[in-house]
Amino acid sequence: MRTLLTGATVVLPTGPERLDLLIDDGRIAHVGVPAGARADETLDLTGLHVFPGVIDDQVHFREPGLTHKEDLTTGSRAAARGGVTTFFDMPNVSPATTTVERLHEKLARAAEVSRVNYAFFIGATGSNLAELQRAERTPGIKVFIGSSTGDLLVDDQDALERLFAETTLPITAHCEDEATVRANRAALLADVAETGRALVPADHLRVRDHAAAAVSARRTLDLAIRHRHRFHLLHVTTRHEINLLQSVYQDPDIRSLITAEACVPHLWFSADDYDRLGTRLLQNPSVKHADDRAALWDGLRDGTLQIVATDHAPHTLDEKARPYPDAPSGMPSIENSLALMLTKAHEGACQLTDIAQWMADAPARTWGLAAKGRIAEGFDADLAVVDVNARRVLRDAEQLSKSGWTPWDGVEVRAEVVGTIVGGRRVYWRGLFDETVRGREAVFSRP
């Protein structure tokens, strides 16, 4: 199947250009199409922009075991609606993805139902070293150094030393120091008991504070540097972490060893939003202050942070309506992430090429996804077609995520995903899905 895309502005690594694209058998055959090129179909995209499909390396699609919140079908449909063509799913499901067998079961399920390309992290437990050593077909090992329960919480130093010393897959981590979080929680509860005041959602920032993030990040970066182990720091939220990363990057060898990212909720919201959004704003790590948010944007622009992801973590509205601290942390965001970032571009926070770099090219290069993440000849035809001049108001009732809500309810965004192309096929186009399209398992090249 040969498809000709005409009339669009194409967001290339070198900048946006008005030119045509020819897709042949799922790959980009020509960027700038020679006259007389044959095509089976032609799509006129005049007035629209074509971006490389978003690669979201941090989502929680909740399958198996927690599918009342989300599943691979609904999550991947929401991804396609948002211009996301590849996702990496996290292991904190039920049962947790901590064995090769469970990893393969998730891959098999995704092959049946996922509308976009997919990959799954395997989780560390502190006692599954043999499973981690033989795991393949995964972007890497996910470690929860804080902010988890049961087997997935790995806080013991000896277990972490062995993990970094005796495995070869890239390691990525949720870094919040468990001892700090517990001490903060105890102090908060003591204060509440003394004053008689009620707990409020903004107290989440007191429990999961700047120190919890900075202490854990420093500890984990030390492990990665000492063991020379490839490491990716998830959802950076504080100026402290930015400063720490800038310090370790003074050694040029570290830049090829350690990468880091910010997530859309932390780039959009600040502590000023707790009163307005209440428990909808609960997120681990917590949403921090406006100064921290500014530091994240600075970190993206100067290269301290390489990736923008979502940490899409849906819960039902009934669950989120519980009072603090009983309401769970996490929010759905995958179907709006590209439009939200493009809204920030309209506001002058970044350029279109930055968004393509942070949300597509950098994730592909960071994780070793060959032939993905940019619009170039020979690359996979995973594309997002966007009207960057559209205006629409996000509404809970219009969300495709099974959770059925968005923390951006009522927010006007300045872009609309018109269509999403996966492997050369239109999985989503102008409000409709081609239910026959399935994504493919992501393949990773290791150095």
- Residues with a catalytic annotation lie at 311
Q: How far apart are CA 118 and CA 107, in angstroms?
A: 8
Spatial separation of the C-alpha atoms in residues 443 and 441, rounded to whole Å: 6
**Burial of residue 318 (number of CB atoms within 10 Å: 0-12, 13-18, 19+):** exposed
Token pair 């409000």 in the structure block, residue? 431
The Cα 433–Cα 431 span in angstroms is: 7
Q: Which two tokens stand for residue 85?
A: 């063509």
**Chain centroid offset of residue 83 CA:** 13
Q: How far is CA 242 from CA 219, 265, 311, in A?
A: 15, 17, 19
- In the chain, the amino acid numbered 37 is A
Task: Verify cis geometry, omega within 30 degrees of 0, for the bond prior to 91.
Answer: no
* 28 SS3 class: strand
The SS3 of residue 50 is strand
Per-residue b or e along 408-443, where b marks 16 or more CB atoms closer than 10 Å to that residue's CB: beebebbbbbbbbbbbbbbbbbeeebeeebbbbebe
For every residue of 86-154, DSSP letters joined together read: EEEE-S-SSS-S-SHHHHHHHHHHHHHH-SSEEEEPEEP-SS-HHHHHH--SSS-EEEEESS--GGGB-
- Give me 350's structure tokens: 């970044």
Distance CA 89, CA 96 (A): 12
Burial of 199 (0-12, 13-18, 19+ CB in 10 A): middle
Structure-token match 């972007």, residue found? 139
